[in-house]
Amino acid sequence: MERNSSKKSAGTKAGALLCPVCCVEYVEVEFDFEVDGIVLHNVRALKCPSCQEERFTPEQTTAIEKRVSDATRQ
């Protein structure tokens, strides 16, 4: 029995998300993303290679919100 609940091992697919429609792993992509009139470059997101559906992880969403917040605070 291994206790790995609190250990994050890099290089595994533990964090991989599957497209619920296609049951294939999302791949990470970068693109320019505009929100509230602010263009963010090199925004990371996950994209299903099959149906092209895009989604953000909670971490990516947080990163975007932070960048928007920083951009609007100047």
State the residues that interact with Zn ion by CB under 5 A.
Answer: 19, 21-22, 48, 50-51, 53
In whole angstroms, give the CA distance from residue 25 to residue 18: 4
DSSP tag of 65: H
Where residue 23 falls (left for φ over 0; alpha for ψ -120 to 50; beta otherwise) is: left
- For Zn ion, give the closer residue by CB, 14 or 27: 27
- For Zn ion, give the closer residue by CB, 29 or 51: 51
To the nearest whole angstrom, how small is the minimum distance from the Cβ of residue 70 to Zn ion? 32
To the nearest whole angstrom, how small is the minimum distance from the Cβ of residue 25 to Zn ion? 10
